Structures are given as structure tokens and as C-alpha cells.
Amino acid sequence: MMSPMIDQPGLGLLLLSFDGGHQYCLSQLLILREVIHRLHYDLGTEILPCEYFHLIAGVEMGGLIALLLVVFRMTVEDAIEEYIFISNSVYAPGVRDGSRRNTILRRQLESLLKRKSLPLDTKLVGSTSEPPPCKMFLSACTQHATAPHSLRNYTSRRDFFSNITIVDALLATCAFSPVCLGIGHGKKTFINPTCIINNPTREVIAEAYDVFGNRAGIACLLSLAARSRVQGPVPQVDSGPKWIEYMASIKGEQIADECDRQLAALGLYFRFSVTSEAISSVRICENWAGMLKSAAALYLEGVNVTKAVDRCVFALENKPELATLEQIRHSKGAGLVVLGLPKLSEHFIMREEPWSAMKKLLIDDSDAMKEFSQRIMVISGMGGSGKTQLARKFARDFQSRYQFICFVDGSSSERVKADLIAYVFSLGLEQSRMDLRQALAWFVKTTGWLIVFDNVDEEFDLLQFFPKCDHGSILITTRNISLGNSFPKNHYQLGVMSDHEAVEALLSAAFPADSVPSPVDRKYALDIVSELGCLPVAVVQAGSFILQRKCLPEYLDRLRHNRAKILDQAAPNQLDGYRRSTYAVLETTRPHLSEKTQKLLHLLSYFHHYSIPLSMLLTASQRPFSS
């Protein structure tokens, strides 16, 4: 069994959500089987969902599926067999009383635990000796609650049910009738959650935000439904289960519609559900599973469904970071930019000389520029000189000039390739698959685009990623001056700020937005930036420290006091004074950090800044950052 390595750095998260829907939830497993089958065919290895997805969630009988796949680490085929076996008992003809179904479900799960040689009181958290291969939670509702609870297989600061057993967790999410369960030192009455949450997709996004961090990128959010909106007349409120089923389907589809409006353009959200028409003939009878398999097969044969599954499989295979959790969680869908532009620093100060050069090379339409049919510009400069901030500012200010803006992480050729493919694929084109050749071909036949290759500092053939055409604009930022020299007419070497720009940047960082610095403050600021060499990263770092400590008059003495110590510790490849001034600023800040924080920063310095594993920080926080 091969694990595709959930924690591979630089790749987007894979999230999986199962709706509620009684025995019809089997259709979700049948759809997942088709997805996994195509993954297996393309990758040539067996796929365990718990080793491939980062987070899996479910509600009601969708929660049973999540348990089978994650806690019991089943293949999809094994989960289908076990699901049918359990459902045949729970939904047997004549078994309609909710409390009886609760009892049968408890017995069936206890039987499964025995077959797996696990104690009947095994906890949901720490159910095995090994850490869970992926995160999982079940959605449940307590009596009189207006929002669902998450029952997790991992610890969380917001977790009120960390001591719940596997059996009780499943009963809580299914709750065919109100069920009183012992939780910790007390008892809670759980009710069927589907009227409040029959589609946990939004909860999956919120949970991923908390677990993986707001900057984590999403590659695929796969939402599986038991069936779409119930057809026919609206049942009466007093019709009991029929009314609950109707409201659950309505709420589930409302959430699905909202997610589709918000996320469809990103190419990362996939919702599959066997239609009501295909499933309407399925009834609780001896051959219900066979009938459901036929309905699912018919659904999956649809042309549009086949194309959508192909696109989903592509996202699952390539794991492109199509949007961050911050963008997804806080966007309402309007104006959400595909592969959204990175955030501009709140302390950005316009630099007139490089800005004029950027406008001349990239957007000037004068006759002298007509010979450059494809606009190319390279900005080179030392680290911290503000190259990326200028690129972000340009992309934002001239967003209306371009129909398409693709911001690419240039840290490696593999990352450039992945970002270009992800961008074009996210535009929702008809292709079910995408490779680099097809992505570049799209740029060739499309006008009005800007590609920003940011931080291309390593040596590799960047030209292979240029669309071969006579249109479009390309902006490159790099610390590698030789890359700029490859485009001598299009190269701008970015130095440090002017005194005026550096003073404005420092004061912007050191004072609240509504404050007006005095002439004396400006004199202090000028002395400080002169000492720092007007390097943007050092200036902003100093300003942030001054804002926290309210120490503008004393800061220069602190800086000079620490400079000698820093410069005595010469780092390799120190070719100029700018890097040293940054170290001096950091050394001024360091003594005011706790010893534990300093050790953490030292540890994180071993990681690439794009690939700091948030899961490591989460684990450390659960043990108060101690061994």
C-alpha cells in the first residue's frame, strides 16, 4: 500500500465531505469509487482515501462512511461492503422506530470493533496507536442547539467532546431519535442533525481554516450528496420524518448552491449527487443496494458528469493550490480572483523611479515601444529590496488593463509548471486534463494577460515557460542579476529606497494610520533609515518594532549597541552591507522575545518560508511547545 504523502509541501489540500441521507448515502461511496478508480488507473497504485485526503467529514450516515474510511482505514470497496451490511440491519423492512435503529446501529458498530480487535470503548481521539493518517470530524447536534458540533479524531481548542467513543460519536451524528450519551462527566442529548446541517461543506472549509491555517492552499473540495432535492409536493410540518427529510434536502442544496456560486470559477469545488429522478425508484427493500448501484451507474455515465469527474481527478492528482483558505472563507464570490493576487504590504511606499520604468516597459504604447510585441521586464535586486511588493502593486493597479493575471511562485521549475497549469485549469475550460503544453497553448491563443514570475532566484530554464507568441506581458522578479542580464533592454536593477521613501516607510510602520509624525519624529526616522541603508525590509522591521515599543527616540542607540555584536558574526556570502543591516534590526528585536519563541524561530529557519508545516505547529501547540 502506497501513501501519496499527505504532507507534501507546496501542494494544495484535498478535502472530502459526505452529506447525510439515510441508506441512500451508499451512492456517495459509489461515486467515490469511480473517482478512486480513475486515480488508481492514472497513478498506478492503490489509493486509500485516508492516506490521500487531508480532511474528511460526514454527517448522519455520511458520518458512518467517514468513520469506515478514516478510523478503520478501509478501501472504498471494503467500505461499500461494510456499509451495505450495516444498512441492511438498520434499515431492514419493518424497522422504522428511531430508538430501535439507534440500538441496531450500536450493535453493528460494536461488532465491527470486535472484528477489528478494538475495545468497545475505544475513543474517537487516539483510536489507534498511530496518529490518524488524515483529519476527520463528524457533525452532530445537541438538543436546543442552533449550530452543529464537530466530533473530531484529533484534539482541538474548540473541542468539547474530546473524550467521546467511536460508538457514541456515530450515534450522535446519526441520532435516528434523540439519544442521551455520556460525554466526559456529564450527559448530552443528541438529535438528528440533518435539519441543521445536512451538507457539511462550509464546516469543512471552516475546520480546514482552523487546522491548516489561513494561508494554506486548496486543490480540491469534493462534496458528495446522497441525493439532490426531494421532488414532489411539500409535506406537512406535522408529517414527521417526511418533513425532516424534505427540510434536510432543501438546506443541503442551498449550501451546495452557495458553494457553487462562490467557488465554481476557481475549479476546485466538485459536487456530485445521484439525481432524484434516478434514485426515486429506490425503496427500502431486499434489493435496495442493487437498485442504488444501477441508479449511480446511470448517473456516472452522463457526459457532463464524466467530464466533471475527469476535472476532479485532475485536481486530485496534481494538487494545484487554486486559492487560499483565507480567500475562500471570507469571499462571497464577487470579485474573487483566480489564483488570487498576493496581499500588498500595508506599509507599501510608492517608489517613483522603478515604477516609471515598469510602466514604460510593460504598458507604454509609444512608437518607440512597438518593436516589443511581447512585453517583458526583469526586476533584479537583493533580498528585501521590495521587488515582490512592486510586482504586486503593479498587478493590482493595472488589473483593469489585463483580462487575466497569473502570479507564479518562481522558486523552482516544478513550482512554475504547477502554477501555470493550475491557473489555466482553474478558468473552468472544457478540458478534463491539462499539461504544461496545453496551458502555454492557452496563453498563445489568448490576449490581454500578464504573467508574474516572482522570486526566480534559482538557476533553471525559465524561457521554457514563456508562451511563444507576439502578445502578452511578462514580469520577473529575481535576486539573480544574471537572469536580468539575459534581457539587457528590459532589465531594471532595484536598489534601496531614497531617503524620503525610506522615512515614509518607517513612519508608516511606526505610527498608527491616523497619527501625524512631527518634524522631530522625521529627524529621528531619517537618522535610523540612514543607519539601515534604506533597505525596505529592514526599515519596515524597524518601524514595526518601534510601534510595539514606542521607542522612536531611543531606537538608534539600541541599533548601534547591537550592530557590533552582529557584524562580528559574519555570515557566508556577505557581499554588501544591506544584508548586515537587516541582521542588526533583527538582533535589536530578538532580546525582547521569550527564550521559547527564539528557539521556535531558530527551528523554523531550517524550512523554506513557503513550506513551514503548520501541522507541526498544531502538534506542538497541543503539547504547550514542550517535549
**Looking at residue 468, which CATH number applies to its domain?**
3.40.50.300
C-alpha cell recorded at residue 187: 450527559
- Measured CA to CA, the distance from residue 357 to residue 389 in angstroms comes to 15
Amino acid at 325: L
In sequence order, what are the residues at sequence separation of 6 or more whose Cβ sits closer than 8 angstroms to the Cβ of residue 399? 341, 405
Q: Is 344 contained in some domain?
A: no
Q: Is 343 contained in some domain?
A: no
- Are residues 361 and 278 part of one domain? no
- Are residues 359 and 321 part of one domain? no
Q: Which of 297, 331, 365 is the last residue of a domain?
A: 331
- Measured CA to CA, the distance from residue 142 to residue 149 in angstroms comes to 8
pLDDT number for residue 531: 86
Q: How many CB atoms lie within 10 A of CB 200?
A: 31
Name the percent of the chain in helix, strand, coil, to the closest 5: 50, 15, 35
Q: Which of 296, 331, 366 is the last residue of a domain?
A: 331
- Measured CA to CA, the distance from residue 323 to residue 422 in angstroms comes to 10
- Are residues 255 and 111 part of one domain? yes
Q: Is 604 contained in some domain?
A: no
The number of folded domains in the chain is 3
User: Is residue 49 within 8 Å of residue 28, measured between CB atoms?
Assistant: no
63: closest CA among 178, 189, 203, 183?
203
pLDDT number for residue 495: 87
Q: How many CB atoms lie within 10 A of CB 334?
A: 7
Q: Is 264 contained in some domain?
A: yes
CA-to-CA dists, residue 443 to 189, 265, 363, 438, angstroms: 58, 18, 18, 9
3-state secondary structure 588-618: HHHHHCCHHHHHHHHHHCCCCCCCCCHHHHH
In sequence order, what are the residues at sequence separation of 6 or more whose Cβ sits closer than 8 angstroms to the Cβ of residue 53? 6, 14, 15, 16, 134
- Are residues 357 and 477 part of one domain? yes
- Are residues 119 and 68 part of one domain? yes
How far is CA 41 from its chain centroid? 26
Q: Please report, to the nearest 10 degrees, the dihedral formed by the alpha carbons of residues 582, 583, 589, 592 taken in order.
A: 170
- Point out the residues of the chain with pLDDT beneath 70: 1-10, 127-132, 144-146, 157-162, 183-186, 195, 227-254, 261, 264-265, 276-285, 327, 329-342, 366-372, 426-433, 563-592, 608-615, 617-619, 621-622, 624-627
pTM of the model: 0.57
Residue 22 backbone dihedrals phi, psi, to 5 degrees: 55, -145
Residue 436 backbone dihedrals phi, psi, to 5 degrees: -60, -40
* Antiparallel, parallel or unpaired: β 323-324 and 217-225: antiparallel
- Measured CA to CA, the distance from residue 561 to residue 510 in angstroms comes to 20
Q: 3-class SS at 150?
A: strand
- Are residues 161 and 32 part of one domain? yes
- Are residues 161 and 66 part of one domain? yes
Q: Is 619 contained in some domain?
A: no
3-state secondary structure 19-51: CCCHHHHHHHHHHHHHHHHHHHHHHCCCCCHHH
C-alpha cell recorded at residue 470: 507576439
- Measured CA to CA, the distance from residue 92 to residue 286 in angstroms comes to 8
- Are residues 212 and 151 part of one domain? yes
- Measured CA to CA, the distance from residue 542 to residue 99 in angstroms comes to 65
Domain of 456 in residue numbering reads as: 352-493
pLDDT number for residue 139: 92
C-alpha cell recorded at residue 206: 471552516
Q: Is 588 contained in some domain?
A: no
- Are residues 82 and 221 part of one domain? yes
pLDDT tens-digit profile of 70-112? 999 999 999 999 999 999 999 888 888 889 999 999 999 999 9
Q: Is 358 contained in some domain?
A: yes
